[in-house]
A and B are shown apart, each in its own frame.
Chain A
Amino acid sequence: MDELCSLPSGGAPPCISERERSIVTAGRSRTAIHCTDDSLAGSVSQRACVFCGARVVLNPVTDAVHLVHGPIGCASYTWDIRGSLSSGSEMFRNSFSTDMKERDVIFGGEKKLAACIDEIVEEHHPPAIFVYATCVSGMIGDDIVAVCNAASRRHATEVIPVESSGFISGNKVVGYRAAALALMRLITPKEGETVEKTRKLNFLGEYNLSGEMWLARRYLTEMGIGINVAFTGDSTVADLKRAPGACLNIVQCTGSMHWVAMQLEKEFGTPYMDVNFFGAENTAESLKKIARFYADEAVMERTEALIARETARIAPDLAWYRERLAGKRAAIYVGGAYKAVALIRQLRGLGMEIVLTGTQTGKKEEYATISGLLDEGAIVVDDTNPAEIERFLREMKVDVMAGGVKERVLATKLGVGFVDHNHDRKECLAGFDGAVHFAREVYTSACSPVWKHIRPFGGA
C-alpha cells in the first residue's frame, strides 16, 4: 500500500492520480482544493447518496410518515438511524416502504405507491406523508409528484414528494436540496392562510441529536428569546407551518439549510445568520450574535450573564481534560464543513494539534475557512477513502480521530482513539455542557487504560 498512496507533502506517487487535487496541505499550497465533484468509480468513497441526504434532513419531522418508494434496502438502512429525539410523536421512527418488487419495476410502481398512501392515511392518519423517490423509482420514471398531488387532493392531507433519486448525483448535498424543496412546499402558506410574525426565531439545521435542540432552547429561553420551530429536530408538521412567523433564522448545519434560509428570506423577508453551538467558544459567540440581533439591552445583559456563568462553570472540567490531552494529535473526517470547523476549534481548545481535516461534501469557500484555521502542514482532504485515511493516520501519528461510523472501526483497528460526531453518537455535544461531554469523549478514547495493554509481550 505504501508505495501506492499519496501524501501531498512527501514525494510518494499519488494514491489515485485523479485524486491528487483533492488533497492539499494547509498554509503551503496556493492551489484551491478540488471538491464537490462526483466520486471516482472504484475509489471506495465514504460518501452516501442523494436519498440519504434528503432522508436525514426530513426524518426528524416527528409526526409525519416517511414513506420510501423503492426496493426494501433504501428503507431498511435508513430506519431510525438518525438519533433525533422527539418530545411527542414517535411516528418518524417507523420505517414505511413500498417494497418495490420486480413487477413494479417492469410495470411501474405508481399504483402501489398510491395504494400504500391510501392505507397509511386510513390506518395512521398522519398530518403529512413525505414520499421519497429512490434510484429505482426515479429510473423507471414513476411520477411521484403526480401520485402525491392526487393523493393530497383525495385525502385532503399533505402528501409531499421528495425527489431524491440516488443516482442524480454522488453528492448528498443534492439530497439536501430535495428536502429543502419539500420543506418549502410544506411551510408555504396556502391561499388565504396567513402566519403572523412573532419575535421568535427558527433554528435551521438543528436535528435534536441527543436532545441538543432542547439544550439550545434552554439558553435562548433564559435570554428571553423563543424558538419558533427547529428545522427539523423535534418538529411537527404543525410547528413547521408556523415557520414564516419567525423574525430571524439561525442556521447551524449550513450544508443542509443555507438554501432554505435564503428561500425564507426571499419569500417571507426573514433575515438569517450562521450560528454554531459546538464548543464553548462557538456557543458563546453564537448567543451573542443572536442577542445583538434583538438589539435589546435586557436580552444582551442576560446573555452576558449566562455566558459568564456557564463558562466559569465548565472551566475547571475543561482545564482538567486539557491538561491530559494537550499535545495530542487529532484527525477529523466528517460529512459537512460546519462540523469540521467546529471540531477544529474544540480540539484546539483542548490543546490538541489538528493534523488532518476532511469532509465528504465541503465547498470551496468552506475549505478555505478550514485551511485558514489550520497550522501550516496540516492536511486537508475532500471525499477521501479508507486507504488514504489509513495512510494519513499512520504517517501523521494521529492519537484521536473524530468522524462517523465507518471511520470508527477503521481508527480502532489502527490503534487510534475515536470520537463519534455523527449519527451514532448518543452524547449531547452542543452548548457548554456539550463541550464538556466532547472533552470527556476525547479523553475516554485517547486515554483509555486499554492502550497500555496493547503489547503484552513487548515489541514495537
Chain B
Amino acid sequence: MLECLPDKAVTHTAGKINPAKTCQPIGAMYAALGIHGCLPHSHGSQGCCSYHRMHLSRHFRDPVVASTSSFTEGASVFGGAANLKTSIKNVFAIYNPEIMAVHTTCLSETIGDDIPNILKQAEIPEGKLVIHVNTPSYQGSHITGFSGMCKAMVQYLSESDGVQKAQVNILPGFVNPGDMREIRRIVHEMGIRMIMFPDTSGVLDAPMTRKYEMFPAGGATVAEIRDAGNSALTLALGAFASNAAADLLQEKCGVTGIPLKLPIGLKATDAFIMALSDWFGTEVPGSLSLERGQVVDTLLDTNFHYQGKTVAVFGDPDHVIAMTEFLITMGMVPKYVLTGTPGKAFEAEINGMLGEAGISGSKVKADGDLFELHQWIREEPVDLLIGTTYGKYIARKEDIPLVRFGFPILDRAVHPLMPVVGYRGCLRLIEQISTALLDRRDRDALDEDYELIL
C-alpha cells in the first residue's frame, strides 16, 4: 500500500495521512458500555454512530449496541433538541435500559446544542437516568472521549454519604475487557474491596448463550458508581484516560486519587500492587509474588532474544507510555514513540523515561500520524514494530515484524480476552515480542545458520 507514498523524506504540515487515532465519541461509547444496563446514545447524525459500532464490533467481535439521534438537515438547522427528546422517549420505551449515556458528535457540537438544558426538558421515566458528555470529534481523540465519559459518570452519579468505606475505586483506562478482568483478579487476590468503572468485562467478552442480551450481565452498576464517592482511594490507571475522573472524585467527594501508569509491564504492575498494599496495609499475597517471580525468571530466560533491539511503538498514550517503560525494562531500545492523541505531557513523560535509561536519539511525538512514523522508519529502520493493526502496512513495506497491541486490532481475534496488564500480561507480551523476533530470525536464516534451538 505504502509504495505509492514518496521515498524521499517529506514533511506534511496540514492534515493527517494515515491517522494514529480516531475521534472522541467512540471513546465515550466504549466507556458507556462499561456501565451495567446502559445504552450509549450518540447525539448527531447516524453515520458516526454506525461507524463507531462497526469499529468496536470489529475489535471486540461482540455486538455493540448504541442509539443515535439520526440528525438530518432539519435537525441541523433547527437544532437537535427534538431529536434527542424523541430518542430518549423511544429508547426507554423500546429498549428499557437503566441508564442512557449521551455523547455528542461534531455535528451537534457545531450547532451548539445545549445538552443539559435539553435533558432537563426531556421526559425521563421514573428511576431512569441520563448522563452526558460533550465530545466534539474535532478535539482530542478517542482517548479524551473515553476520559470525558468517565468523568461524566462521576459528575452525574458518584455521591459521598460522609462515611468512608475501606474500598478502592479503580479507573482501568481504555483497555480490553480481558484486562479489566485481570485487574479485578489482582485486587481480589489482595483481598481488597473494589469498585471498577467503567468495566466492559461481561459486556464485550460475554459468552455465547443462544440468547441475545441487549444489556449483558457485566458492567459497573449505577449503585457502584454512586458508591465510588464513599471509597477510601481511587487509583487512576493511565493519566490520559483516567485522571480527569479521579480528580473530579477527589474534588466532589473527597476521595484521594493516585495517578498511576496502566499496569502494563513489570514496573507499572509493581507500582499498582504496591499502591494497594501501602494504602490498605495488606501484604502482597504469595500468589502474586509467585507470578512476579515467574516474570523475572522469564525475562532472564529470554533477554538475549530481544535485548538491544530497536523498536517503534505507537498507539494510545497510556498504552504507549507503559509499554515504553516495559521495553526499557526488557533492555530494548524504543527508537520511535508516537501517539495520535494530542498532549505535550506524553512527550515529556517518554523523554523523561528515555533520558533516565540513557537512551538518546529517539524520536517522540504526540498528535502524530503513521505517515510520519513511516518516514522515520524509512530513514532509519527498527527491528520491531509494536502497535495497532494499522501498523501492518508499514510492517509489510519495510519488512519488520509487528506485534499487535492496543486499539484497534481488526485483523486478529482473541486479543480482547487476553490481558496485557499485570504479571500475566507481562508474560504474554514477552512471549509475543520474543516470538516475533525469533520467527523473523528463523525466516531469514541461511540454511547453514538455521538452528533447532534458539
Q: Which residues of A contact B (CB under 8 A)?
A: 1, 4, 15-16, 38-52, 63, 67, 70-80, 89-91, 93-102, 104-105, 112, 115-116, 119, 123-124, 135-136, 139-140, 166-170, 386-387, 390, 394, 405-406, 408-410, 412-415, 424, 454
Contacts and interface: CB of A to CB of B under 8 A. Distances in A.
A72 B19 contact: yes
B15 A49 contact: no
Contacts of A41: 68-70, 83-84, 86-87, 90
Q: For this complex, into which size category does the number of interface residues on chain B fall?
A: 35 or more
Interface stretch (B133-141, B300-308, B352-360, B377-385): B133-141
B16 A139 contact: no
Contact of B4 (A38, A89, A139, A168): A89
Interface stretch (B204-212, B287-295, B322-330): B204-212
Nearest to B6: A123
Interface of B: 1-6, 10, 12-19, 21-23, 25-26, 41, 44-48, 50-55, 57-58, 61-73, 75-76, 83-84, 86-91, 93-96, 105-107, 110-111, 136-139, 141, 206, 208-214, 340, 371, 390, 393
A241 to B, nearest CB: 20
Contact of B107 (A166, A386, A408, A409): A166
Given A44-B68, A73-B26, A169-B73, 4 more contacts: A40-B70, A72-B19, A73-B48, A94-B18
A250 B213 CA distance: 44
Contacts of B64: 406, 409
Contacts of B15: 67, 96-99, 112, 115-116, 119
Contact of B16 (A75, A89, A169, A390): A75
A405 B58 contact: yes
Contact of B46 (A39, A104, A119): A39
A62 to B, nearest CB: 9
Nearest to A171: B72
A15 B214 CA distance: 14
10 contacts: A44-B95, A67-B15, A72-B21, A76-B22, A89-B4, A95-B16, A102-B138, A105-B110, A105-B136, A390-B214
Given A4-B94, A405-B58, A410-B212, A166 B45 contact: yes
B207 to A, nearest CB: 9
A78 to B, nearest CB: 8
Query: Which 4 A-B pairs give the minimum distances between C-beta atoms?
Result: A49-B47, A73-B23, A42-B87, A42-B90
A385 B13 CA distance: 42
Given A79-B18, A105-B110, A166 B138 contact: no
A406 B54 contact: yes
Nearest to A360: B50
Contact of A124 (B5, B70, B141): B5
Contacts of A89: 4
B47 A70 contact: no
A386 B65 contact: yes
A73 B94 contact: no
A73 B390 contact: no
A72 B136 CA distance: 11
Nearest to A114: B14
Given A70-B106, A73-B26, A168-B72, A50 B94 contact: no
A410 B212 CA distance: 7
B212 to A, nearest CB: 4
B110 A415 contact: no
A91 B63 contact: no
Contacts of A16: 90, 93-94
Given A41-B83, A72-B141, A406-B53, A119 B13 contact: yes
A100 B138 contact: yes
A412 B67 contact: no
B47 A94 contact: no
B70 A136 contact: no
A123 B10 contact: yes
A119 B393 contact: no
Contacts of A390: 212, 214
Contacts of A67: 15
Contact of A102 (B48, B83, B105, B136): B136
A52 B72 contact: no
A95 B107 contact: no
B50 A415 contact: no
A371 to B, nearest CB: 26
Given A73-B22, A387-B94, A46 B106 contact: no
